[in-house]
Structure 1
Amino acid sequence: MGKRDKVDGERLAFIPPQMPTLVEQPPEDDGWVHEAKLDGYRTQIIIDKGGVRLYSKNGRDWTTKYWPIALAVDLPCRAAILDGEVIVSGERGTPDSVALEAAVWNEPSELVFVAFDLLHLDGRNLTPLPLLLRKHALRQLVEPGLGKIQYSDHFERGALANFGVIEKTGFGGIISKRSDSPYRSGLSKTWLKTEYS
């Protein structure tokens, strides 16, 4: 186990998130995967002997605000750290950023967690592994469906072609990630963000 995995009483510690660098166009060369930009609240779910906790991107414990998600966490593992975003789905099934803030305070039952990375699993630090291996492990952990905990799919080629399709569906842009990259906290050149104007 690495330094990040030091556990106090078998409790896992929050890992500061990896953040994408803003660019004008998504990369078109091989070796990148692309996900829809969700425009939600970046959130980390930690599951360990102490139970389930949810943290904001700044490391604040938001478990009580996100209690319906915490109660819905029932994954086939003893311990895990999932990186993702809390969203509210709009009428077209895409994230509704306007409704999100209201839901946090007034209708938390509408909140959904969309997982896009897995940083720890049952005693193993996954951050040094390539992104696609982490996403494969995450896909095994989070079953497909429209529950409170969802998996964020990705596509591997033709980002610009998919950029237009994603824009029409109401997403805010594209997050492009190097498929072979480890997870590193802080601003990253291996995660790139392209936004719609």
Structure 2
Amino acid sequence: MAKRIKAPPAKRPEAVLPGFISPQLATLKTKPPSGAPWIHEIKYDGYRVQLHIDGDTRKAFTRNGHNWVERFSAIAGAFNIPGQAIVDGEVVVIHEERTNFSELQADLGRGDQDRLIYFAFDLLWLDGQDLRKMSQLARKGLLKELIDGNNLKEPIFYSEHHEGDGQELFEPASRLNYEGIVSKRVDAPYRSDRVEAWHKIKTVQREKFPENLRV
């Protein structure tokens, strides 16, 4: 009688990277929150861009879901990591020591990527795992580990945050003529909607550029 050969275990299929994820949006407020439930980041004056990394494949989605990877190829290529990730962030140009949307538009119009910088502020997917149900602070922790662990350098930057009282970040942002700050609840998941878990507080209380480009 022939000996039965045991079949090898089935190979676990690789997780399929999801397509474009509608971004989480901040609710406009007039005053920053304070206390332990909140962290606060500088509000960057640029284009919201969602980077998709899947092995050697790169995509760079705008807030409205358009893949602009050719316009942002230098940034997409600089996010050199193995495996999969979906990263939320902002593409900016720094002019006279602050982010400048007009300069960014001019550079993109010329097809010039030399000054483009990417501030990464959230991580939605990592190596087959959907992270959106995790807390804001946990996602940021994994994002920092991803950037530091892979020794990513300019034009990729991790978006640092301030904990506690948002006014302590808002006041210097106002003095330096930054656009404002974004305050985020540390315990909140990521939702594809305009939410109360993210507050945007502008140093000048008006919209200077089209809202559909912003955080």
Q: Please indicate, yes or no, whether the TM-score normalized by the shorter chain is above 0.5.
A: yes
* C-alpha displacement of 1:182: 0.2
Could you tell me which residue of structure 1 aligns to residue 102 of structure 2? 98
Residue 54 of structure 2, aligned match among 48, 53, 61: 48
The corresponding residue for 1:22 is 28
Residue of structure 2 in register with 1:13 after alignment: 19
- Corresponding pairs, count: 189
CA distance in 1, matches of 2:168, 2:58: 39
Counterpart Cα distance in 2 of 1:45 and 1:145: 14
Distance (Å, rounded) in 1 between the aligned partners of 2:114 and 2:169: 31
More moved, 65-74 vs 182-191: 65-74
SS at the partner of 2:94?
A: coil
Contact 2:41/2:160 (<8 A) preserved: yes
Paired AA for residue 138 in structure 1: L
Does 2:164 align with 1:164? no
* Alpha-carbon displacement from aligned partner over 1:77-129 (angstroms, at most 9, x marks no partner): 3000000000011231x211110101112122211111000000000000000
- What is residue 176 of structure 1 aligned with on the other side? 183
Distance 1:161 1:61, change over 3 A: same
Distance in 1, matches of 2:119 and 2:37, equals 23
Match of 1:192 in 2: 199
Post-superposition, which runs of at least 4 consecutive aligned residues in structure 1 deviate over 2 A?
7-12, 143-146
Mapped to 1, the partners of 2:56 and 2:78 lie a distance apart of: 16
Which residue does 2:67 correspond to in 1?
61
Residue 159 of structure 1, CA deviation = 1.3
1:89 aligns with 2:109: no
What letter corresponds to residue 178 of structure 1 in structure 2?
A: R
Larger C-alpha radius of gyration, 1 or 2? 2
**Aligned-residue identity in percent:** 36
Q: Does the C-alpha gap of structure 1 residues 50 and 112 become closer, same or farther in structure 2, counting only changes over 3 Å?
A: same
CA distance in 2, matches of 1:62, 1:126: 24
TM-score normalised by L of structure 2: 0.82
